Chain A
Amino acid sequence: MTGTDSVRKQAKQIMDDFMNALDRLGEISMEYGLERKEQTRPDPKEQDFPEFRKSILKNAPKKNNDFIIAEKKKW
């Protein structure tokens, strides 16, 4: 088993143990809904940052001028 497999297996075991503990609660009916005065959000404060485009592109691992380059299906 690889390291990743063993971490995955351990994580699933932890989740199953926690779910078994929550079984004590039996069936619970959920209440949904959130009361709000307004249903749409107000316009956010815009930040004045002329260098934004340059800054975003600087973070890209691979780029060509204004294009971020990524290998298809790599992710």
Chain B
Amino acid sequence: MVREKRDHLLDGKISASENIHILQERIRELDRNINSFLHVNEKAVEDAKEVDLKIREGNAGKLAGLAIAVKANINVRGLPASCASKTLANYISTYDADAVRMIRENDGVVIGIANCDEFACGSSGESSAFGATNNPAAPGMIPGGSSSGSAASVAAGMCDIALGSDTGGSIRNPASHCGIVGIKPSYGRVSRFGLIDLSMSLDQIGPLSRDVHGSALLLEAISGKTGNDPATTENEVESYSDFKKPRGLRIGMSSDFERMCTDKRIHDKISAFAQSFSRKTGSELKEIELKYVDLSVQAYYPIVYTEFFSGTRKFDGRKYGRKIEESCGEEVLRRILGGMEISKSEYHGAYYRKALAAKQLISKDFENAFRNTDIIMLPTTPILPHKIGTKITDPRTMYAYDAFTIPANLSGICAGVINIGRIEGIPVGLQVMAPAFNEKLLFDVLRECEVIMHGD
């Protein structure tokens, strides 16, 4: 796990360059059956050797030689940022995203670029132009998306931690399906500079890892106000990895989520775990009302369609890449054409404004809920992941996967996922939501969940 690996790196039991060598070997051995990496960084060993010098001098940063996979929609200078699309298949990044710069400043090593749904438009990991990603934790099933490669590479032990992006669940969904930890930070916690946006008012970059410590460490490194993203805030970046045992919490659970959970076994598993957690921590389970949460999907997609249409106008094939409408897959085209339709002047912005108004109501729902609760526990997805290649003709079927993850993006709060077992051999993730900028509480709760599942 990340805690032990980091201790070994700092103690000199393993060097950073050895760590990279071992993981690169693992990638060569395993990834042909998983397809989680689009590009392996040839300079990673060289970068690791520089970190080794700093470790020997005793002044290495908090990520000290850990190997990090970066989603293909995040810029890493000198490496491809294809967004898993033919549109940008040959595009090489000319700069580091803020999150990547901060990883380097903390002596993390970028091991490669992770596969994803094309332009982050998906929740299955099947729509990459470079092939679907397999689920190492449930082979033959989708790994989830859109941060499919990030989740799969972590689950298969081909990297130590990964960066993904989450607009409506794209970190949490694959974290759940692959049986790992994934965090969507509060909107404004992490700079979006260098993230090729899906929906600028909803996107956040976040970590995925095999243990809670890994995500906590990475989020400490990449959080904070930067001049490049005006949405980032002054809120203090706490020591998320300095865990405190939570006691006496008020845990919100909503019968709205129970009603929306198509596979009742998932709800039953979440409910049983929440009861176990409340007993072990002296906490109280409380019913909360979220009046408008069942309209989250309907509020979300008009915003995404409009903002994605706007954000993709630069892909016209002039300065870089190809014209997006001539080179993208069906879901990307659907969002562009849908966004173009509802942005027409004849509608006077009605679709977008109505969706923003619904977003505001859903946000107030959570604001009210958090007056009487500390955290909310709920499932991550309403159904289990399907087999790779299953024919799904109506996109709304895929959109429904996001019903439990979208609300956190609409309300700007933080949310994380941790594995709490399996159904039919498929991992099931518990989702925990906390108030905006209360990532400290979120991590304390997730760590306690980890202790309940696996011991200290």
Interface residues of A (CB under 8 A from B): 4, 7-8, 10-12, 14-15, 17-19, 21-22, 24-25, 28, 30-31, 37, 41-45, 47, 49, 52, 55-56, 58-61, 68, 70, 74-75
Contacts and interface: CB of A to CB of B under 8 A. Distances in A.
B361 A25 contact: yes
Nearest to A25: B358
Given A19-B354, A59-B319, A60-B319, A44 B228 contact: yes
B337 A4 contact: yes
Nearest to A63: B319
A15 B338 CA distance: 7
B330 A7 contact: yes
A50 B395 CA distance: 45
A19 B297 CA distance: 11
B366 to A, nearest CB: 15
Contact of B226 (A10, A44, A58, A68): A44
B337 A15 contact: no
26 contacts: A7-B333, A8-B338, A11-B334, A11-B341, A14-B301, A14-B395, A15-B301, A15-B341, A15-B351, A18-B355, A22-B358, A25-B354, A30-B356, A30-B360, A41-B227, A41-B230, A44-B193, A44-B226, A45-B101, A49-B77, A52-B95, A56-B319, A59-B92, A60-B319, A75-B316, A75-B323
Interface string B334-347: 11011001100000
A68 B316 CA distance: 13
B319 A22 contact: no
A17 B351 CA distance: 11
B299 interface: yes
Contacts of B453: none
Interface residues of B, number: 53
Nearest to A58: B92
B234 A49 contact: no
A45 B316 CA distance: 29
B225 to A, nearest CB: 8
A60 B302 contact: no
Counting chain B CB atoms within 10 Å of each CB, the highest count among A15, A17, A41 belongs to A15
Given A11-B305, A58-B92, A30 B298 contact: no
A59 B357 contact: no
Contacts of B317: 61, 74-75
B26 to A, nearest CB: 31
Contacts of A18: 297-299, 301-302, 355
B334 A7 contact: yes
Contacts of B77: 47, 49
Nearest to B233: A36
Interface in B272-316: 292, 295, 297-299, 301-302, 305, 316
A74 B210 CA distance: 48
Given A11-B337, A37-B234, A41-B230, A60 B94 contact: no
Given A15-B338, A70-B318, 20 more contacts: A4-B325, A7-B330, A10-B334, A10-B395, A11-B341, A12-B342, A15-B341, A18-B301, A19-B354, A22-B299, A25-B354, A28-B358, A31-B360, A47-B77, A59-B90, A59-B91, A59-B92, A61-B321, A68-B319, A75-B317
